[in-house]
Each structure stands twice: as structure tokens, then as C-alpha cells.
Structure 1
Amino acid sequence: MTSTPAPAAAGAAPALRLRDLGKRYGHHVALEGVSLDLMPGRVHVLFGENGAGKSTLISMIAGANAPSSGTIEIGAHRGAFTSVGEARAHGVRAVFQEFSLIPQLTVAENIALGEEPTGRLGLLSRAAALHEAQRVVDALGFELRPEAKVDELPRGKQQMVEICKAVREAPRVLILDEPTASLSEHDTQALFTLVRKLRAAGTSIVYITHRLHEIAQIGDEVTVLRDGRRIATVPADTSEGRLVELMTGRAVSDIYPPLPPLAPGAAVRLALRGVDTRDGSVRGADLQVRAGEIVGIAGLVGCGKSELAQACFGLRRIAHGELAVDGSTRRFGHPADAIAGGVWYSPPDRKRDGLVPMRAARENMSLSSWRFGELAGRRLRRRREAAMVGRLAAQVDFPAARVGEPVANFSGGNQQKALLAKGLAQDVGVYLFDEPTVGVDMGARRSIYEYLAKLAASGAAIVLVSSDLPELMGLSHRLHVMRGGRLVAEFDRADFDEGRILEQFFE
């Protein structure tokens, strides 16, 4: 199938042209006949569900993947890029959803990687690398120390390092794949300021996001992909409802499901009183979450919101204060103690911390149940496991026919569903969800949101940590703001106001 190229601006030559680009893996067609003109000084948004072909398309533009058919045209180049280095030589830079950092190196070393500055004798110059990194960090307005080791940084700051790498030199074409997934609203706006500067300087920007509200803020036009084909290219101010309809092929009513009402006098299932962590990341935290309640935690990257959830799960040591679950004071020394005590934590980096990518989805879903759930015992009962996994897959809308495949084979949305199912495999009453929709498309998000609402309706207490403020406002009964390791403000649902909440992010 050949698609008509997206329209070019009158009189302007495209910065990059794609003609009938396709990619096959054996009999599987990942992308077919996609043609696009990417214009200089424009932000072109790619929108679609996981598996629609977005990642395949940008991997070919960036030289990380070779097309099976079609051509890429930029300057005098015609054909396909044979490597990332060749794409970079033509001015194409990319920030992928999956980080390409070397954890043992510093921020400055990662930013300079592959283009390290040298001194007069041709030796690597650490001082020059630090100076250059500081220049890029300052230009972006990010809070990063160039000498810090990357493996000591939270995911949000690692995202900042990836962005710094890509824009160290002004690119001709910049690809941003879910760049705000782990950024706070403040850092997102800093990134948007950079994007607008690059657009004004003539850079062509390809922007992938699953956050609908970002499209009109930063985009000029939107190309919707579905099942590996270009469905339409429309203006960025197209209504959210129409975009979702183009993406899924069906109308979607409201993104967020109705929240279950909180029962009068509902029991407190999780309580924190004056909690300080040993590492100082959380200070004086007081928090209550009742049965059937979803409490959101918002704040800047590094504010302590993830650390708060981790302290409740035994991943960070509590130095002072009290943690109570269902009225009983607890002190978890290890995540296993927390699960046994009825608390579950879903981490933000599902591939590194939540799943075993090369093992079957079935095994990932049932893993913790082997010790804490109905599968506990000396022998693994395969029939019982199959029955349980079938129930779990149905609960989270996971494709049951594929539970035997390695979880690495699945889209981000289905990987997240496998992680959610894993949390249902034992008797738990308190759930801590840390960035549960990172890298998840809008169709899968709706399933996850419904899952959270049903979980709350069943009487669970839920703490929802997210960098997506509209998501928190759409899903929470109450919302707390963290700043500098402290819970500094609380809002009831009736009082939610994005401007007032954002004000509390800053001193």
C-alpha cells in the first residue's frame, strides 16, 4: 500500500522525505508504504497505539533499523541509513524511549559520548567535557550535575541526560520519543521551551507522545499511524476525541472512568506518621489512604514522591516515624516483608525492576504468587497456574492467547498490564503505583485506568505517583504535592485546579 505524503508547506523544501517506507519481519508487516514530508521549523507529532509502527518508523529515520522497502531522502542522501552514525552525520538525532546511557559513566561523559573533546595533544579532555555538559544543562534549565554518575540518578534525570546528548549540537532533524514520560511539569515546560527554540532555528522535530494535552501545546501537525499504516495527517489542534478515534478506529468517550465514591467512615488502610527515610529523601511525611481511595502524589523530579512509595515497600529504610497497614504498625526491612504484609509496589521502570523480559508473560504474572499467593508450596501446579493466569489476564485485558510468549515481545501497554496482573496474584490491600502509564498508549491507558478504578471499588487503598498531572487529577480522590522530600500541600477532588497545584511545586 502506498500512502500520499503529508502535505508540505508552500514554497518550503522538506528537511527529510520518507517515500513508501516499509518494514517486514518474516511474514509480519510492521510498517507498510508510509510517506511523509518533515518540514524545517515544524513539530510533527506521531500518534498511535503501541504496535502501530511509530517506533519502527523512527528507528529507521535514526539509522538504528534498515527498511525493507522505500527510501529516506535528506540533503543529497537517497536510500536507507546503514547506521546511527550515518544518520547523525546527516544531522539526525534521536532521544528514544529506551535509554542508551552508560550507567557507570558521569553525566558529562554520557553527553560527550562518541564526540569526546580532546586537548592539544589529542588526548581526551575531561575539563572540556565537563564545561560543555554544563553549557548544555544550563541552556536547557535542567537541574543536573555534570560530574554525577548516571546510575545514581532517578529515571527522570536520566531522561534529561538523554535530551542533553541529542541537542548538544543543533540537529537538522530531532526525534523525541516520549521525552516527557518521566519529567515533571516544570521540566516538561523547560523541554518545550527548547523545542520552540529549535523550531524557530529551523530544526525539523518528530515528536511522539501518548499525552493528548501535549499535542496542541507543542505540535504543528499530527500523523496518525494504525497497524503499520499512515491513517491521516491533521492539524495539531484537532480535537482529542477525533485523534483517539483516528488512532483506534473507534470512538472513545471519556478517557478517565468514573471514580467509585468513598464510603463514609472507610477504614484507613495505609498511614504514615512523621516518616523520615534514612537517606533523607523523605522527611516528616504524614499520609492516610482509606479503603476504596486513590491518593495521588505530584511534584518535580527528585521531590521524593517515588522514594515515599519505596519507603512504604521496604526499598528505603525508615529512620524515624511510623508506618501502619490496616491499623498495625509495620517496619518492612525487605519488599518480601511488605508483600507478606499486604502491600504491593509497581515500579516505574518495568523492564529493569518489574519484569523478567525474556521469560513468558505467564511466568511474570505468577512469579510472586509462587511464594505469597495461591501457588505457594513445594511444587508448581501448572494447571492451577494456567487457571490463575487466565483470570489475571482477563482482569487486566491482557491477550490471554499469548501468555506463553516472552514478555519482551509485547508493546509497552501489554507489558504494563502483565506487571499489574503480577500485583493481583496475591492477597494485597494496599497498592503503590509509580508512573504506571509511562510509555503506554491512550487505548491501553484507558484499560489501566479502569483497572485502578475497579481495584479501588473492591476496597483497596491506592497511592498513585505520576509525573502526569492531568492523569493524577483524573484518577485521584485526593492529591498531595511533594517538594524537597516533604508533603507540602493537599487538595480534595472538588478543589482540583491545575494552576494552584502547580504553584505548590515551587517554594
Structure 2
Amino acid sequence: MGDARPPLLRMEGISKRFGGVRALEEAELTVRAGRIHAVLGENGAGKSTLIKILAGVISPDEGRMLLDGGEVSFASPAEANRAGIVCIFQELSLIPDLSVADNIALFDPPRRFGLIDRRAQRRIAEEALARAGAPDIHPMALVKDLPLSRRQMVEIAKSLARQPRILILDEATSALTAADVAKVFSVLKRLRSEGLALLYISHRMHEIAELADECTVFRNGRNVASYPAGTKTDNEVVELMIGREYKHVFPPKPVSPPAARPVLECRNLSWSERLRDISFSVRQGEVVGLGGLDGQGQRELLLALFGVLRGCGGKVLVNGKPVALSSPGQAKADGIGMALIPEDRKTEGLMLPMSVRENLSFASLDRVSRHGLIDRAAEDRQIEEMVRLLAIRAGSLDMPVGGLSGGNQQKVVIAKWLMRAPRIILLNDPTRGIDVGTKQEIYQLLRRLADAGAAILFYSTDYDELIGCCDRVLVLYDGMIKRELVGKEITEHALIATALNISGEQAA
């Protein structure tokens, strides 16, 4: 059934180029009040450019925007905010050293006698946090002391405090726990019922299915389809996004598990109250998954193995020999050969202002140096090999890595460590916030690396990835391994039941 109401916002004939790169070409978008409109497409399809134009971050080269039927343009995000358009970008805009309340009221703090009214500011923060479904976050807590998932909730609260008419969410749930995602969904549905227009950008198809009323698909800078949510299958949507037939996303697993000896072994690994007597092994050529609800010790386990955490108990063995992992430098050294693909590529994996070339070679400069001097020819050969292997798409290797799409940034993070030819690869939710096409490429790469002899430990918050990629899955609960799933035992039912600590008979 069509909506007879006039659109709240229309974008018509929007084009934008960056140098010789076409980001958008004659793009169109119609947004209505009281609706959740999903915007879909691969990284680099033009989605981010479109919402940056709408949010006043950049200006279009051509085209126009109509708000309430009148033509508008925004020279800054502040102008867009005043018109009621607020965007929650995937990259957080919070200032870590300020409190939650300071961040929420940063651009328009309440004043009394010319000074910031701290009591009113705290009240505004409490109301915004409650509206965002996060009343448990203390308004006086420092943002830097909060985990990534709670910072994302503060970002949402900060946006709601501006009383938007159009709220744009760009991968706003990618860093959230399952419990927080459920709260955000409830908030978004309530905002829709209150008459807000919501633009929702996500690569998680199940989120689109649950939330969206309408969908628009972008490819190569153009909108290629708009349709009511639920009228196309996931495969049809993916084919629209990638412009080709969608093949099975996961590569085939080995018929029988590798019989090689363990490359990595943990024996009774413990740390604080977060890890308790963790024992397992990963063999050469094997992909072992880490499952369980978010926050059950999976990230701490990866950090402990990579030498980031201090004061760990237990033993770690590499190729049967005990090793001391007191720093990342020791973990990545040739004698151990470990690499960690971190959770947050923006803050932990890349130096955004530096070039693609510099980011690629940074972790392996010691391998392309002689007597303290970098062998540029050797460096270039390895960089070219990585760009080809991972199909990294960049206008130039000398451009800032922050200018790449999210999927290509993640490829750079992975390539940076592959240049060290690691024997043990630790991955911390590596496909968060990237498109289905790039995910498929990463899945294929993981299997090729395992087939070439790497031992891979793979944490993912996506059950489909654990089922499709892993030979075994270790399900963690409260810092302990509750169950090991092997082969056909790796099912969604078994993963969820074990993650919820349901008994073995029920989880089978």
C-alpha cells in the first residue's frame, strides 16, 4: 500500500566526484515521516557520500534537496542539525576525555548566568540516555572508561538529545552487544511511531528485515532499486547490490579435519575474572571459532594471546614449546609468528591520516630493511602482492587510508599483517560493518590461508560466520569454555543454547 502523504525529504539528481572518482551520479532518495528507510549497498556504492551530503558534511556537485517541499542546502552539520537532520556515523564523534554528559550537550550546553548549568546538563543527559534505552550509563562517567558498545549507546543518546526530525544511522549497531541491539530496535520503532523519519544503513540483512518499511539499493553511485521491505529475497537484494549472481558465500570446508600437530596451545589460561582456566589448541590448517554472547571473554582471550594483557596465568605453547607473551612485539616476532586483526580498525588497526602504502608496510618494516634502511624495491613488491591478493581498491597507494571505503580499510588491516607471513592469525570480529561482497572475499581468504598452513582463531558475533567458516567452535560463557562444537555439531541452535548456558542435552 502506498503512502499518500507528501515526502518529508527528497534528494534529486545528486552527483558528487572526488578528483577523478565518481562517488554519486544522479542519485535519488525519498524519505517519509514515520517510516524506517533502509539504504543498502556495498562499501563504495555511494551510501556514505549521500548521507554526508544530507548531513551537511560535504556539498553535492549537482542536484537538489527538498525538505517539506522547499529547496535546502547545508554548508555544515550544524545547519543540518538546525533543520532537524542528525546523523550517527559509524565513526564515533565522542571526545574520550570528557564525561558522557559533556559529550551529549557538547554543542549546545544549557547555561545559567552565562555559565554551563551542570545540573541541567546532567538532567538532559539522563533523559537522552533513557530515551536511547541506556539508562544504566552514568552521565558523569568518562567516555574513555566505557567499552565500545556503551560508547555507541552514548552516541545514539547524543543524537536524540538534538530532537531530530530525520535520524540517520550509519552502521550504528555494528559495535553493540545483542542486548543493546534489542534495546536500540525498540527505541527506533518507538521513534517511528512518534513520527520521525529514520534512514538506516546496515550490512546485516536480518536487521533490515526486522526494522525497515522501505529499502533503496545503491550500486556504483546510483540508486538501482527502491521497494517495500519484505518484497525481495536476501539473494535478490544481494544481487542488486553486487550487480552479479550471488553464489554461496562460504567456501567449502575440508572433508576431514587436519591431522597436523597443534601450532597454538593454551593450558589453564586465566586473567583477572575475565578468563578462567581456558584450555584449547589450534592445529595447522584449522579455523577455530570463538562463540558465545558478546562480552564473555572472547576479546580478552585474543588480547592475552597477543601479549596485550599483563598478569595472565597458565601456559601458552607454540609448536609444542612454552612461550612468554608479554608484549605484541614478542607475539609477532619470527619465533612465534602471530598476528592480531583488531576489533576497531579505525582506532586499533590503522593510522587514518597516513597513506595506504605506509599503513600496509608499517608492521613489517623490519622485514624490508637492511642496516636500518628500508629497501623500497622489496617494500613495493610486497605491497603490490598484498594489493593484488586482497583486491584492495584505492585511487592511489599514496592517498590517506582514511579515504578508503570501510571494506577496503579492513583489507588494508588484514594485508598489513599478512605481509609478515604469520603462522597464527587471531581475528576479532573482522567483518563488522563491511559489505557482503567484501565479507565473501575475506571468508575465501581465511580458508586459503588455512589451506596454506596457518592456524586461525576467529571470534565473530555473527553465528552464520561461525557455522560457515569454522572447523570447530569454542563457545565461551563467563570467561570459560562451556562447549566445543565440531563439524556438523556447529548449528545455530547449539551455538545459541550453549551461549545462554543451557544444559548439554537441551543444546544438542
Q: Taking structure 1 as the reference length, what is the TM-score of the superposition?
A: 0.91
Q: Does 1:129 align with 2:141?
A: no
Please say if 1:257 is aligned against 2:242.
Answer: no
What's the CA shift for 1:53? 1.0
SS of residue paired to 1:332? coil
**Does 2:431 align with 1:455?**
no
Give the whole-Å Cα distance in 2 for the aligned partners of 1:185 and 1:292.
31
How many angstroms apart in 1 are the aligned matches of 2:491 and 2:132? 27
Query: Match for residue 5 of structure 1?
Result: none
Quote the residue 1:472 is aligned against: 466
Q: CA deviation at 1:106?
A: 1.6
| Residues in 2 aligned to 1:225 and 1:475: alpha-carbon distance in whole angstroms | 28
Query: What displacement does 1:412 show?
Result: 1.5
Map 1:54-453 → 2, pairs under 5 A: 54-75=47-68, 77-118=70-111, 121=113, 123-142=115-134, 144-168=137-161, 170-237=163-230, 238-261=232-255, 263-278=257-272, 280-340=273-333, 341-371=336-366, 373=367, 375=369, 377-399=371-393, 402-453=396-447
Alignment partner of 1:225: what SS? strand
Q: Which amino acid aligns with 2:3?
A: A
Aligned with 1:50 (options 34, 43, 57): 43
- What's 2:505 paired with? none
Q: Which runs of 5+ in 2 are unaligned?
A: 502-508
Q: 1:401 and 1:488, CA in 2 relative to 1: closer, same or farther beyond 3 A?
A: same
Quick one: which amino acid aligns to residue 24 of structure 1?
R
Deviation at 1:139, TM superposition (A): 4.3
Partners of 1:208 and 1:248 in 2: CA distance: 16
1:379-429 Cα deviation digits (max 9, x unpaired):
322222222222222222224884344323322211211221111112421
1:433 deviation in Å?
0.9
Query: Where do 5+ consecutive residues of structure 1 fail to align?
Result: 1-7
DSSP-derived class of the 1:368 partner: helix
Give secondary structure in 1 for the equivalent of 2:115: coil
Q: Secondary structure in 2 aligned to 1:443?
A: helix
The alignment partner of 2:139 has SS state of coil
Q: CA deviation at 1:339?
A: 0.4
- Off by >4 Å, runs of 4+ in structure 1: 374-377, 503-507
Q: Is this contact kept in 2: 1:102–1:150, CA < 8 A?
A: yes
Q: Which segment drifts farther, 129-138 or 10-19?
A: 129-138
Distance 1:201 1:234, change over 3 A: same
Q: What amino acid is aligned across from residue 477 of structure 1 in structure 2?
A: D
- Going from structure 1 to structure 2, the CA distance change for 1:216 and 1:325 (only over 3 Å counts) comes to same
Give the share of equivalent positions with the same residue, in percent: 37
| Corresponding residue SS for 1:464 | strand
Counterpart amino acid of residue 396 in structure 1: L
Query: 1:330-356 CA deviation, whole Å, 9 max, x = no partner?
Result: 221211100012111111222322223
Using the TM superposition, name which of 76-85 and 231-240 deviates more. Answer: 76-85
Q: Against the structure 1 CA distance between its residues 63 and 77, is the aligned structure 2 distance closer, same or farther, given a 3 Å change threshold?
A: farther
Aligned residue identity for 1:137: L
Distance 1:287 1:129, change over 3 A: farther
Q: Which amino acid aligns with 1:442?
A: V
Count of aligned residue pairs for this structure pair: 497
Tell me how far 1:261 sits from its aligned partner. Answer: 4.3
Q: Per-residue deviation at 1:450?
A: 0.7
The 1:447–1:258 alpha-carbon spacing in structure 2 relative to 1, beyond 3 Å, is same
| C-alpha displacement of 1:127 | 3.6
Q: Secondary structure of the equivalent of 2:167?
A: strand
Instruction: Give the TM-score, by structure 2 length.
Output: 0.90
Deviations, residues 168-224 of structure 1 (Å, cap 9, x unaligned) = 355311100011211222222221121111122221111111122322122122211
- Range with bigger deviation, 336-345 or 420-429: 420-429
Specify the code of the residue in structure 1 equivalent to 2:355: A
User: How far is the alpha carbon of 1:505 from its aligned partner?
Assistant: 4.4
- For residue 466 of structure 1, what is the amino acid of its counterpart? S
Cα 1:175–1:478 change in 2 (3 A) is same
Aligned-partner Cα distance in 2 for 1:455–1:110: 43
Secondary structure in structure 2 of the residue aligned to 1:133: helix
Per the alignment, do residues 350 and 26 of structure 1 end up closer, same or farther by CA in structure 2, a change over 3 Å counting? same
Pick which of 58-67 and 386-395 moved more. 386-395
CA contact (8 A) 2:368 2:374 kept: no
1:153 CA drift (Å): 2.5
The C-alpha deviation readout for 1:124-180, integer Å capped at 9, x for no partner, is 233443344334434444453333221222322222221121223553111000112
Separation in 2, partners of 1:183, 1:82? 32
Which of 361-370 and 454-463 deviates more? 361-370
Amino acid at match of 1:87: A
Instruction: State how far apart, in whole Å, the 2-side matches of 1:89 and 1:97 are.
Output: 21
Quick one: distance in 2 between partners of 1:344 and 1:90? Answer: 47
1:208 maps to a residue whose letter is I
- 2:27 pairs, out of 31, 34, 49, with 34
* Cα distance in 2, alignment partners of residues 362 and 432 from structure 1: 23
Amino acid across the alignment from 1:459? G
Whether the 8 Å contact between 2:355 and 2:397 is mirrored in structure 1 is yes
User: What do the CA deviations read for 1:235-262 (whole angstroms, capped 9, x no partner)?
Assistant: 3221121112111211121122222345
Structure 1 residues 469 and 188, CA gap change in structure 2 (3 angstroms): farther
